[in-house]
Structures are given as structure tokens and as C-alpha cells.
Amino acid sequence: MSKTLQAIRGMNDILPEQTPLWRYFEDSVARLLDGYGYRQIRMPIVEFTELFKRSIGEVTDIVEKEMYTFEDRNGDSLTLRPEGTAACVRAVLEHGLAGGGQTQKLWYIGPMFRHERPQKGRYRQFHQIGVEVFNIDGPDIDAELIVLTWRLWGLLGIRDALSLELNSLGTSAARAVYRDALVEYLTARADQLDEDSRRRLSSNPLRVLDSKVPETQALLADAPKLADYLDEESRSHFEGLKARLDAAGIPYVLNPKLVRGLDYYSKTVFEWVTDQLGAQGTVCAGGRYDGLVEQMGGKPTPGVGFAMGIERLVLLLETLDKVPAQIARQVDVYLCAFGEPAELAALTLAERLRDQLPGLRLQVNAGGGSFKSQLKKADKSGALYALVLGEDELARQVVGCKPLRDQGDQQSIAWEALAERLALCLEQA
């Protein structure tokens, strides 16, 4: 017997009953970003592997362990994108979007790919919405990105479940001095470090700060603090950001161990975290990457951005029971027709209703069936009302309107008054 075909582990189908909530979330974010003056960009999901080695860093876990990399027929090494910032910077450089100091406020949406151990809220194909800003170097734009996400949490009704963690990594020069001090401290205590931290000590020592091993965290209590090594420029930038968040009334927690997993960050880094999803608590994260464009071959260009995980935020909406009632309902009205003359009239009537009520979600019965079977389909569709059109209704130019979610009686409504009556009923529902 042949093996049953199924999806790759960690790469999930998003089924019809799930997609309405995804669309609600995505549409909410898109409308918000439009309102802040951001424009959408769409990049390929496959890039040359060198792009990610150069941007993310060859000694990061992503590049060393997690990327889906393969050789194509031309012998080129290609990679399914593990994150969006590098691809967006590549597109900005390739098309000259930030040339001459042009300001760009961009956003994108789509799947990313990392070969990780699948678990709830962490998948091998996952989806992100990312925002990137180029050629604005002050703390005002850092603050705008955080204020924007704060507003989104309010619109979605999940603000109370999220907290903001904030840190500054300083400039690359200041961070290099701190790195040397941290390495000296940890090297003297290497025998007390966990295996993963010992490996990072020679490749990416700042990631040791993010260790989840309790013994390593205890050891770090007396380690040098990054805040003590910040240069004046970074310190001033960070104070400016905090002042703006204070003015906007956005609470935050300073987390000196927040370093992020990508090499290109500098100055501001932040994460929105929740305690409602178990281990996968970060739902949105980002920061400033002023040196990345130059690192990838462009001219010095300030940059800042963030990415939010759609799977985790959708899961948070479900966990907190913040799914709007109308999202679960895909059909407002179900039109039943009995007999070919009624079916022909129903087609015309349905299109007229769609013209008169553009937002109406109207499903017309297909495949015939008895009165009982069609009403059963209408009920299963989740519609609020069933419209009934048979021989008698056709002769009188009326439609029977039967409530499906309350105890009201069926009413006969003239065709010319149907759109107005339906609009009123749906408004009150």
C-alpha cells in the first residue's frame, strides 16, 4: 500500500475554518499601517544564500542550523528566507529605493522558513508581518513603531496580555568593547557555563546573555553590564526613545539581557511578550540596524523595523477569546430556491442584492434539494437568515425570510423592499 501523502512536519495547512481569523488579523494590520503612511513591498521567498550569511551572520543559530538551503540546477546556493529584513534591504538596494537619502516606510507579509523542532507557536514554515524604515536616524521613528504596535494591541483587545521589553545595544564600536569585557569575564568561568554557552563564547558571546539555563543566568548576575559601555550617542538615543514612550503612556520594562538573535541589530531592540502562550512568549520583536545596508554593499543608511508572528498572535486572540463574533460567521444570508423557475429568479435576485448591499455575504443554494435539506444547509452555513423562494413566492414577487438564530417567525418581504429590510435586520443582529 502506498504511503499516505501529508504535509511536511512543521509546515501546516491553514484550513477554511481558520482563515477568517487570519484574514481579520492581517486586514487589521494592513489598515493600521496604511493609516501611518507605510507602503507594502513583496519580495521572493527564495534568495541567494550569501544574502543571509552576510546579513544575519554566519555564526548565528539561524545560518548554522536552521536554514533550508539547496543547490539549484545552475549550481547556485539558494535559501528559503528565514526572516524578512535581509530580503527587504536587498530589494531596497537593488531598486535604489533609499538612494539620495530617500525615506522609505515599508511593510511586507508572508511565510518564513526555519528548520526547528516544531511545537505550539513555533513551526518550520511560519508567517510574519514585517515593517522596515530607512533613512530616519532619530528615536522618534523607533517610538512610532512601538506606538503603532501598541495601538494594534488595543484594536485587537489584547493589550493587557502583552508587555514591552526594551534595551539598547549601542553602536557596533561600543558593543565591541563590551564584548571583550564579557568574554574576559566568561572565559575565566568557562567551566561553569553550559555547553551551548561555551560554544557561543567564541562565536557570538552576547547570545550567552539570553541563555535559558538557570546556572548560566546566575553566573551572569555579576557579569559586566552593556548599559555601562554605551557611548554618548546611543545613550542619548535611548533616553529620547524612553521619553517618547513615557509621553505616550506606554509602559515598558528595561531588560539588559535582551540582545535579539541576529547580528545586525544596534542601539534600540525591543520585544512584545506574553505569558499566555507558554514558552513561545515573544509575539513581536525588532530594533535598529543602522549598519546593515552598508554591510550589504550600500551607502550608510539608518534602518529600523520589527516583525510580528501571525501564528502566535492568532493563537493569542483565540486563547484570550478575542475573536469577533462576525469572524466565525462566514455567511449572513442563505438563499433557498425550489424548482427551476425559482432557481433562475434566485440567481437574478442574488446579484441584485449584492449590487445593493456590497458587504453582504450571501450564499445561494446549489445542487437543488428538498425544503428540509436546503434549510439544513442554510443552518449549517452559519447564516443569520434563510431566504425562501418557491413557486408561491415567485408568483407573488416576494421572498420568505426565516430567522435561523432566534425564535422569530418567517416573514414575506417584497422583492423591492428586500435589500432595505435585510440591511436593517443585519444591523440589529
Could you read off the pLDDT of 254-297 as tens digits, one per residue?
Answer: 998 887 656 678 899 999 999 999 877 999 999 999 989 998 99
| Res 179 pLDDT > 90 | no
Q: pLDDT digits over 328-387, tens only? A: 778 999 999 999 999 999 999 999 999 999 999 999 999 999 999 999 999 999 999 999
Q: Which helix (H) or strand (E) holds 284?
A: strand 282-288
CB-based contacts of 387, cutoff 8 Å, min separation 6? 333, 334, 335, 336, 399, 400, 401, 402, 418
More confident of the two residues 117 and 210: 117
Interhelix angle 19-35/310-319, rounded to 10 degrees, is 110
Of 148, 178, 142, the closest CA to residue 32 belongs to 148
Q: Name the 3-class secondary structure at 299.
A: coil
Q: pLDDT digits over 133-168, tens only? A: 999 999 999 999 999 999 999 999 999 999 999 999
The pLDDT assigned to 260 comes to 67
Q: Calculate mean pLDDT across residues 54-60.
A: 75
Question: What is the maximal distance between C-alpha atoms in the chain?
Answer: 93
Q: Which three cell numbers stand for residue 143?
A: 517610538
Domain boundaries, the chain: 19-171+231-319, 329-428
Task: Give the chain's end-to-end CA distance (angstroms, integer).
Answer: 52
Q: What topology is assigned to 19-171+231-319 in CATH?
A: BirA Bifunctional Protein; domain 2 (3.30.930)
Q: Calculate mean pLDDT across residues 235-258.
A: 95
Instruction: Answer for the pair 374, 342: CB distance below 8 angstroms, yes or no.
Output: no
Pick the CATH number of 329-428 from 3.40.50.150, 1.20.1260.10, 3.40.190.10, 3.40.50.800: 3.40.50.800
**How are beta strands 39-40 and 104-113 bridged, if at all?**
parallel
